[in-house]
Chains A and B, each alone.
Chain A
């Protein structure tokens, strides 16, 4: 199994630009999670989906962030417009359910906003 796949692995962009991060969960997993990790705040849950439906987006920082999951094998996290404070590593993870099952993380996207 390929595991969770994320792209791009690195993204450098300028303030104000739109950024789209992509994730392919492990086949058969029903839950998908988007996290952000920084030195200051650690790993923060942004949003998660069950069966492609957003369940909890209370961690999304503000309206500049949006996430979609159009089907069971693909999700996107979009930041528009991006700001320097959005610089972080963004992880996607998937699991069988959201009920405390083991979450399998992708390699992450390292985002730098100049």
Chain B
């Protein structure tokens, strides 16, 4: 089983739609969680951290469910510019103090 698993997609949605991605992680001792965004042929960049109480940044909402070991990202009122690959990232010290990246979920927002 992979340490971090994501549905690869692609998710094709119309502009203005709401879309949600889930990610599961295998290590219950995981400590920190993040969503990174990667545009086509570009480097990954931090989108937002994920806090236990859930957090929101504009149209983006991230949630963490430790009991079920999954993380979610909700994008409301999606824009064409949201088209990218979204990487779920987990940090736990047992992994040698390093971030573990999921393989990403591809989102395509269409007119």
Residues of A bordering B, CB below 8 Å: 33, 41-43, 45, 48, 55-56, 58, 91, 98-100, 102-103, 105-108
Q: Which residue in chain A gives the minimum CB-CB distance to B104?
A: A42
Number of interface residues, chain B, beta carbon within 8 A: 20
Residues of B bordering A, CB below 8 Å: 31-32, 34, 42-46, 87, 91, 93, 96-104
- Specify which of A58, A98, A107, A108 is in contact with B97 (CB 8 Å cutoff): A98
User: Please, which residues of chain A bring their CB within 8 A of the CB of B93?
Assistant: 99
CB <8 Å contact, B32 and A100: yes
- Taking A45-B98, A107-B42 as given, write out 8 further A-B residue pairs in contact, using a Cβ cutoff of 8 Å, ordered by the A residue number: A43-B101, A48-B98, A55-B96, A91-B44, A98-B98, A99-B91, A103-B99, A105-B43
Q: How far is the CA of A30 from the CA of B44 in the complex (A)?
A: 19
A–B Cβ pairs within 8 angstroms, 20 of them: A41-B103, A42-B102, A42-B103, A43-B44, A43-B87, A43-B103, A45-B99, A45-B100, A48-B98, A55-B97, A56-B97, A91-B44, A98-B97, A99-B93, A100-B31, A100-B97, A100-B99, A102-B46, A107-B43, A108-B43
